[in-house]
Amino acid sequence: MRFACPWMLVLVVLAPVAGFVWSLLKARREKALERITLNVPKSRSSALQSALVLSGLFLCLFAASRPQGGKSQEQYLVRSRNVVVALDISRSMLATDVRPNRLERAKADIADLVASLKEEGDRGALVAFRRNAALQCPLTKDYGHLRDKLYLLTPDFLPRGETDLGAAIRESLRAVELALDEKAKGPDWKDDHSAIIIISDGGDLRGQAIENAALAKKHGVPIFTVGIGDPKKGSTIPSEDGRGVMKYKGETVMVKLEEAALEAIAKTSGGRYVPIATAGTADTTLGAIYRRFMRQVAVREQNESESALADLYQWFLVPGLCLLIAGAALSKGRFRRRSEKMV
């Protein structure tokens, strides 16, 4: 059992103490009356009345602490979208043409996107990709868990290899399909309230990227591609030992944003391509992009349930009030004195 207002339990403990003090004062008063007169009427209902009032007070104060237990399911209607974020974690994302580097800038922008998801009440998922892709967090409204998974991602998280944009799309579509109702699943499923956001510095179109983008359009899921980096000027990549820059056959490796693949994927799927400026402004954050372009994605109304502890206070409040009323009925008030005079 838990208590929503545990501080009220202090008053619950004080109730018996108050009753004990009241009994002592009452006994002293009766002794004082015995000294004045020899014939002090003994009230048979006095002890019962005290017991009823104190018991009722105890139960009412206990109810005020709002005891809770068990489980209750609360159903409510929500309006939301599903957004799958696919993040490129290849080593080229460590280039520093975007400060502090492409990967860290992307993480910061995704955190901004998560804040926008929370404001809108939309669900988010996270996919990491490099040579292959892996779902890190399924569609959820647990935004803290989503951010935790995001911050753990590094290039060493997945096997080395050329960036496979097709795998990123395929795994993102799987994340959307996993969230569908069983009746809606199947080879021809369609979902017009979901979207995919791919953040990458580009790559080639191997791995069936265009075919998977066309499949996304068939399923009603647009892909918004976000290019990060400088498309004109190449940038170096830190070496794996951290002591210099990456080299291949004695030559320094230079990488720049390759926009062609990202533009083709967005166009094929019915989405948009958005480059993130290297300097970074408020208009090019993922949160701003989300608020600007995601309006074309339909909002779905759906019933959601939430488990919560059930309130138990009524089980103590009702009998407590009954005991207080019973104690009041035994009171020697004006009504009883008038009745005795009439007799």
Grouping H, G, I as helix, E, B as strand and the rest as coil, residue 231 is: coil
State the pLDDT at residue 334.
Answer: 46
H/E element, 196: strand 194-200
State the pLDDT at residue 78.
Answer: 52
Angle, alpha carbons 128-131-135 (nearest 5°) = 25
State the pLDDT at residue 174.
Answer: 96
Cα 120 to Cα 105: distance, rounded to the nearest angstrom: 23
State the pLDDT at residue 335.
Answer: 42
Burial class (CB in 10 A: 0-12, 13-18, 19+), 95: buried
Beta bridge partners of 77: 303
State the pLDDT at residue 60.
Answer: 85
Determine contact, residues 69/309, Cβ cutoff 8 Å. yes
User: What are the structural domains of the chain?
Assistant: 2-66+313-342 (no CATH), 76-303 (3.40.50.410)
**Tens place of pLDDT per residue across the chain (343 aa):** 777 787 777 777 777 777 777 777 777 777 776 666 655 555 555 677 777 878 888 888 888 888 887 666 555 445 678 999 999 999 999 998 888 899 999 999 899 899 989 888 899 999 999 989 999 999 999 999 999 999 999 998 888 888 899 999 999 999 999 988 877 788 889 988 899 999 999 877 666 899 999 999 999 999 999 999 888 888 888 888 777 888 878 888 888 999 999 999 999 999 989 887 554 444 556 777 777 776 667 666 554 545 566 778 888 888 888 888 887 787 665 444 444 444 4
Beta bridge partners of 310: 69
State the pLDDT at residue 253.
Answer: 85
- Reference 170, options 202, 140, 214; nearest CA is 214
261-291 burial, b at 16+ Cβ within 10 Å, e below that, comes to bbbbbbbbbbbbbbbbebeeeeebbbbbbbe
Cα 187 to Cα 120: distance, rounded to the nearest angstrom: 30
- Torsion angles phi and psi, residue 332, rounded to 5: -90, 70
- Reference 269, options 217, 198, 194; nearest CA is 217
- Reference 190, options 199, 198, 181; nearest CA is 181
Cross-sheet strand order for the sheet of 223-228:
133-140, 123-129, 82-88, 194-200, 223-228, 273-276
State the pLDDT at residue 20.
Answer: 75
- Gap between the terminal Cα atoms of the chain: 53
- Reference 302, options 114, 138, 122, 73; nearest CA is 122
- By DSSP bridging, strand 123-129 and strand 82-88 are parallel
Determine contact, residues 196/222, Cβ cutoff 8 Å. yes
Cα 88 to Cα 228: distance, rounded to the nearest angstrom: 10
Determine contact, residues 313/66, Cβ cutoff 8 Å. yes
Beta bridge partners of 82: 123, 194
